[in-house]
């Protein structure tokens, strides 16, 4: 089989078409000023080990700050400040005919603002919401452990979404 036969066959045409589309997409992204988050000049690189996070006043807040620091690193060269406030509520979701709640949702929201230290200019801000759940059908110890785990998972989810939004929207050029 000749090379030209491979390109003109049905499988070969699809391969050439896919390569052409992928190349066009890459060219389009570079033309619009796309910069990889962790590439030179990317937001992820600029925020790594440079963000001081406001202190927590609750166990949930502590878990949130810890999760954000896991992703951004501890501020060794503070340049930015992340201010945040959080609200968390629990709602019963599954109630038996005997009026016992067997499933709960833990719903959380974080309002955040990224600012340059020494300035009140907001470089990025927003509100992130998420939820997790846990079952209350086991023993008291199992239910308490499931509740703690649900709160920890929620804080990790909120932190991941805040950091992702910072990477995507923070204007660090100023």
Residue 115 and residue 69 in one domain: yes
Considering the domain architecture, whether residues 148 and 130 belong to the same structural domain is answered as yes
Report the chain's mean pLDDT, rounded to a whole number: 85
Residue numbers of the domain that contains 19? 1-34
E strand or H helix at 132: strand 122-135
Residue 101 lies in a domain: yes
In this structure, are 69 and 30 located in the same domain? no
Instruction: Report which of residues 169 and 146 the model is more confident about.
Output: 146
Report CA torsion sign: 24, 28, 31, 33. Answer: negative
Same domain, 23 and 53: no
Same domain, 73 and 145: yes
Q: What is the pLDDT of residue 10?
A: 56
Tell me whether residue 174 is in a domain.
Answer: no
pLDDT at res. 17: 47
Same domain, residue pair 111 and 157: yes
Indicate whether 111 belongs to any domain: yes
pLDDT digit string (tens) for 7-53? Answer: 555 555 555 445 554 444 444 454 556 677 777 777 877 889 999 99
Q: In terms of DSSP bridges, do strands 80-95 and 51-53 run parallel, antiparallel, or are they unpaired?
A: parallel
Q: How many domains does the chain have?
A: 2
User: Does 27 share its domain with 50?
Assistant: no
Query: How far apart, in Å, are the Cα atoms of 118 and each of 36, 41, 44, 56, 69?
Result: 28, 22, 21, 21, 21
Residues 17 and 54 in one domain: no
**Are 143 and 60 contained in the same domain?**
yes
**What is the share, in percent, of the chain residues with pLDDT greater than 90?**
63
CATH number of the domain residue 147 falls in: 3.30.160.150
Q: Establish if 9 belongs to a structural domain.
A: yes
80 in a structural domain: yes
Q: Who has greater pLDDT, 35 or 68?
A: 68
Residues 122, 150 within the same domain: yes
Q: Has residue 11 been placed in a domain? A: yes
N-to-C CA span, the chain: 59
């Amino acid at each position: 089989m000749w090379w030209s036969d491979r390109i003109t066959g049905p499988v070969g045409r699809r391969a050439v078409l896919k390569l052409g589309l992928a190349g066009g997409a890459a060219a389009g992204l570079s033309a619009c000023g796309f910069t990889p988050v962790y590439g030179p000049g990317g937001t992820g690189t600029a925020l790594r080990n440079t963000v001081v996070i406001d202190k927590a006043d609750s166990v949930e807040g502590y878990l949130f700050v810890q999760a954000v620091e896991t992703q951004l690193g501890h501020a060794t060269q503070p340049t930015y400040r992340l201010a945040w406030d959080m609200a968390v509520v629990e709602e019963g979701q599954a109630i038996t005919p005997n009026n016992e709640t067997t499933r709960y949702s833990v719903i959380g929201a974080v309002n955040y603002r990224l600012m340059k230290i020494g300035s009140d200019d907001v470089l990025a801000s927003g509100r992130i919401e998420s939820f997790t759940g846990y079952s209350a059908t086991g023993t008291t110890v199992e239910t308490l452990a499931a509740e703690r785990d649900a709160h920890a998972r929620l804080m990790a989810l909120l932190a991941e979404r805040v950091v992702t939004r910072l990477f995507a929207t923070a204007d660090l050029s100023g």
